[in-house]
Amino acid sequence: MNYRLYIIYYRVSLEKEYRMMYRIGICDDEEACRIKISESIRNIALKNDIEVKIIQYESGIQVMDCEKPDILILDIEMEHIDGLKVRDLLEQTDNEVLIIFCTSHDEIMSKAYGRNVTDFIKKPVREEEIEKKLLHAINIINRRVKWICLNTISGLTKFKISDIVYGIAQGRYLKIYMLDGSEYFITDKGVSQLYEMLKDMNFARISRSIIINFENVNTIGDEIIMTDGVKLKSSRRMKKQIQEDFFNYMCKVARVERADR
């Protein structure tokens, strides 16, 4: 059986380096439905300033055999392998794909709940409904705990990324400051290297020697005031861009929080 896989990159902005790309999968054996949902997702990405990679699957077999998305809009009624079976297979592999089921039959929804099922969309699909359910799933992804392992003077140490407040180059080492007040010297990474690892997780580089976590910023003006009260200075050259990036980050947070209510 020869199935085709369609992958579409849609970048709504090229200037915000800290942004994350979300892989959105659409699994439906009806091409017209896949096209319509893809067009809606492009509009939603543009409206909400989100960077997405759209992956179209013609069958449940493709979902299991090809690249996995972060969020899967999954038709329930399909030939060969239906959406419920795809859900079961994904859960058996302990996959973290979030599923939004799509169906024209209300009576099936009671059977469609699952560990990673976040929502349901009723056919014929409406863009407003897709937007609400998609932003809700994105909010779940953003809230997932992420960790990073770094070499410190004491040895290999695991850090919760959201707890990193900022990092400053100090001599041969990079010193990172945590939400609980603890401090660590990183021995195998400089500012540039750590920034490259974290730039898709709301981190920004404010000078040659400092990176910050937007999640742990209180205010940005002439100075950047972190949640621990520390005041940092950005380079004059980067000041305007940092303020714009922080504003866009806060707008994005506000949008997904509204969608989650």
Question: Do 252 and 151 have their domain in common?
Answer: yes
One domain, residues 18 and 93:
yes
Are residues 11 and 120 part of one domain?
Answer: yes
| Structure confidence by residue, pLDDT tens digits, 165-205 | 999 999 999 999 999 899 999 998 999 999 999 988 889 99
- How many domains are there within the chain? 2
> What is the C-alpha end-to-end distance of the chain, expressed in Å?
43
C-alpha 239/C-alpha 258 separation (Å) is 29
Handedness of CA 119, 47, 57, 122 (dihedral sign): positive
Residues 184 and 250 both lie in one domain: yes
Reported as type and span, the H/E element at residue 200 is none
Q: In which band, very low, low, confident or very high, does the pLDDT at 140 lie, cut at 50, 70 and 90?
A: confident
Assess whether 72 and 126 both reside in one domain.
yes
Owner of token pair 């024209």: 104
Q: Are 191 and 171 in contact (CB under 8 A)?
A: no
Residue 189: both structure tokens together: 């990474």
Contacts of 79 (CB under 8 A, 6+ apart): 29, 59
The whole-number pLDDT of residue 45 equals: 94
Does the structure show a pLDDT above 70 at 19? no
Residue pLDDT, tens place only, 198-232? 988 889 999 999 999 999 999 998 899 999 999 99
- Tell me, yes or no, whether 128 and 162 share the same domain: no
- CATH number for the domain spanning 30: value is 3.40.50.2300
> Contact, 109 vs 62, CB < 8 A?
no
Given 128, 143, 158, the domain boundary residue is 143
Do 39 and 80 have their domain in common?
Answer: yes
- Residue 2: per-residue pLDDT: 42
Q: Which of 127, 143, 159 is the last residue of a domain?
A: 143
What CATH number is associated with residue 189? 2.40.50.1020
The reply to whether 186 and 137 lie within a common domain is no
End position of a domain, from candidates 143, 176, 207: 143
| 11 shares a domain with 133 | yes
Does the pLDDT at position 256 exceed 70?
A: no
Q: What is the pLDDT of residue 94?
A: 58
**pLDDT for 81 beyond 70:** yes
Under DSSP, the state recorded for 68 is: P
Residues 220 and 151 in one domain: yes
In this structure, the answer to whether residues 134 and 154 fall within a common structural domain is no
Q: Whole domain around residue 253: which residue ranges?
A: 147-259
Whole-structure pTM over 0.85, yes or no?
no
Of 96, 79, 67, 90, the closest CA to residue 8 belongs to 67
| Distance from C-alpha of 153 to C-alpha of 17, rounded to nearest angstrom | 30
118 with 137: CB under 8 angstroms?
A: yes
129 and 60 in a common domain: yes
